[in-house]
Structure 1
Amino acid sequence: MKILVIQQKMIGDVLASSVICNNLKLIYPDSQVDYLVYPFTVPVLENNPNIDNIILFEDAYRKSKLALFKFLIAIRKRKYDLVIDAYGKLESNLVVAFSGAKTRIGFYKPYTNYLYSETVKEIINPITEAGTALENRLNLLATLAPNAKLKNKPRIFLTEKEIANGKAILVKNKIDFSKKLYMISVVGSSKNKTYPFLFMAKLLDKIVEKNQAILLFNYMPSQEKEARAIFDLCQPKTQENIKINVVSGSIREFLSITYHCDALIGNEGGAVNMAKAINKPTFTIFSTWIIKEAWNSFENEKSNVSVHLKDFRPELYGQNSAKELKNEALKLYEFFIPNLLFTKLESFLENN
């Protein structure tokens, strides 16, 4: 059987949907499982034994209708038996339509249902510790294996060489391994997903005050100015403990370094999901507009902990969901003061 899984989105989404690939290999051990993703998300899929081929949706397919048409024809020529669309947007709709697959599974939407042979309605409230982002993806497999015991945790597969390289980078930078070492997701993927700079600085001050930990910053090259601005707002003692020049050169290098950290702390996003996929404890600060129940996977109040403004100030949201207040995200951040987080943070630091 030839199977295509589609997830054309961000790193966290691609990693989450990789559980579909992992479980398809459990259900159909002899199948060929291909995964269609954007090129920049490939690092979280490398060495995954459950994915036979990674198919790239190149940026050129957006810019040229001819390039897109040729790509869609190439997909059809692969003659897939089963297509699972975890994305559900126009790009993936086109892939499904052109695939020619007999079985086409996707999420229920009244305006695209005709493209699929089977659809699944997304749940709003989580049933398990995995959270709705993962549960909804696994529900796409429900009709294929109704009684199967599915594995709900995404995994990233690091090689021994990569792990050793991460350790070598830390040794080269004279990291003191007798102290706690935390990776800090210091800047979010956008302004409305970034904990305010001054608040983040106070959080880092608290961490160093609590256990004199060594801190590493994770950020994209384009975010260096923002990362240094947060560094400048920290107390001198905290600055001494931040190794700001230890910067990952790639996503795989970030993973190899994080592997040797005691935990990852900071803004919710791809870095948090990646850390969980290599079994690292996480303390996650959710953006004021993100729905926590979707992405707070495997929380246990010990090794995986998260905080959301709505947990502390529900009256600010009224009857609205967090996502409905996306345009108010920055204003809501003003209420998300560090003191609200400190009790949970201190408990997390004691355990990790």
Structure 2
Amino acid sequence: MKILVIQQKRIGDVLTSTIICNNIKKQFPNYTVDYMCYTNSVDVLIGNPNIDTIIPLSHKVRKNYFSLIKFIFEIRARKYDVVIDVYNKLETNLITMFTGASIKIGYHKWYTTLFYTHNLKRFENSNKPKYGFAIDNRLLLLNPLKLDKNNINPYPKLFVSPKENEETILLFEKHKIDRTKKTVMISLLGSEKNKTYPLEYMVKVVEHVAKYDVTIFFNYFENQIEDAKFIYNSCSISTKEKIYFDLFGTDLRSFVSIMNQCDVIIGNDGGAINMAKALNKPAFTIFSPFVEKNIWATFEDGLRNISVHLNDFKPELFDNLHHDEIKKNHTTMYEYFTPELFIDKIDFFINNNLKNI
């Protein structure tokens, strides 16, 4: 049996959808399972033994009609028996339809019977999530394969090689990191401005974390360095002494390796949080006002994984507001989301997950 899993979009989406591959291989180790994603997310799939072939779809191919047609025919030539389209947009609708697979699985939309043999209705807010809808809805796509539901593992996993671990330990030694102290990764900035906790507020969060006897790392991309510097420069001298600003992941793999050596992560919802959870690290997540917490607050247990959303504290602000309106006014909504609302929850998280500090 040859199976193709398709998940485009962002790092967190691509990583989360690996649970489909992991569970298929767990129960059917002889099946071939390939994975299609955008090139910017390939690194979170490296080392996963449950993926036979990673098929990157580049921006250049996507945006050129003839290149995309050629790509589709190359996929068709692989002769898949099953295609699971997690992305479920027109681009992947077409890829799925032309694969020639006898079983095509996707989410139900009014038009998707044209493309899929199995159209599954997502769990929505009328339901209570089991693991978070981002997980629940991906596991739903396994139903047509009739896997043993008692043998399902819902947890995404990242794989770090011994060489990567060794290089990161040497990096820590180079920066003279005191390994007797607990390490906190701060997910400093979101993937977009509308998913980034206000910088002045994040300064207060960093200052509060620094009250503990910990080592602090910042997660940011090189193109975000000015915002990262603003937060760092706004911190007190005593807090700066605990921050190793120049030790950060310059790419996804280096971030994964560094995160693997950390104890917990605190900060903006996004790929960094999802990667930390896939490394089995406790996570405290600050959600953007327009992101639906029920979807991405995965594996919430009130101990290891805790998240906060403005709606938790000021639900009246969301009365009769459509998602698009909340997104449009995210700056104003964020202003209400002061750190004082949830500082006590950060204390609980740190005390529960960083013992003896």
Which TM bucket (shorter chain)?
Answer: over 0.9
Residues 65-122 of structure 1: CA deviation (Å, up to 9, x unaligned): 1111110111111111100000001210111111010100000011222111111001
Q: Which residue of 1 aligns with 2:342?
A: 341
The answer to whether the Cα contact below 8 Å between 1:291 and 1:321 also exists between their aligned partners in 2 is no
Query: C-alpha distance in 2, partners of 1:68/1:162?
Result: 35
> TM-score scaled to structure 2, two decimals?
0.95
Q: Which residue of 2 aligns with 1:62?
A: 62
Q: Which residue of 1 aligns with 2:250?
A: 249
Shift of 1:213: 1.8
Q: Which residue of 1 aligns with 2:49?
A: 49
SS of 1:306's equivalent in the other structure is strand
Q: Please show how residues 1-352 of structure 1 align to structure 2 within 5 Å.
A: 1-125=1-125, 127-145=128-146, 147-149=148-150, 150-209=152-211, 211-320=212-321, 325-352=326-353
Query: C-alpha distance in 2, partners of 1:3/1:147?
Result: 18
Runs of at least 5 residues in structure 2 that lack an aligned partner in the other structure: none
Q: Which ranges of 4 or more aligned residues in structure 1 deviate by more than 3 Å?
A: 125-129, 319-324
Shift of 1:179: 2.1
SS of 1:237's equivalent in the other structure is helix
> Could you say if the C-alpha distance between residues 106 and 120 of structure 1 is closer, same or farther in structure 2, counting changes exceeding 3 Å?
same
Shift of 1:34: 0.5
> TM-score scaled to structure 1, two decimals?
0.96
> Could you say if the C-alpha distance between residues 106 and 91 of structure 1 is closer, same or farther in structure 2, counting changes exceeding 3 Å?
same
Shift of 1:41: 0.5
The answer to whether the Cα contact below 8 Å between 2:27 and 2:147 also exists between their aligned partners in 1 is no
SS of 1:143's equivalent in the other structure is helix
SS of 1:67's equivalent in the other structure is helix
Count of matched residue positions in the alignment of Structure 1 and Structure 2: 351
The answer to whether the Cα contact below 8 Å between 1:282 and 1:304 also exists between their aligned partners in 2 is yes
**Counterpart amino acid of residue 191 in structure 2:** S
Shift of 1:144: 1.4
The answer to whether the Cα contact below 8 Å between 1:291 and 1:323 also exists between their aligned partners in 2 is no
SS of 2:149's equivalent in the other structure is coil
Shift of 1:339: 0.3
Query: C-alpha distance in 2, partners of 1:272/1:139?
Result: 23
Residue identity (%): 45
Residues 123-153 of structure 1: CA deviation (Å, up to 9, x unaligned): 1146454200111011011121164331111
The answer to whether the Cα contact below 8 Å between 1:19 and 1:154 also exists between their aligned partners in 2 is yes
Query: C-alpha distance in 1, partners of 2:147/2:29?
Result: 17
Runs of at least 5 residues in structure 1 that lack an aligned partner in the other structure: none
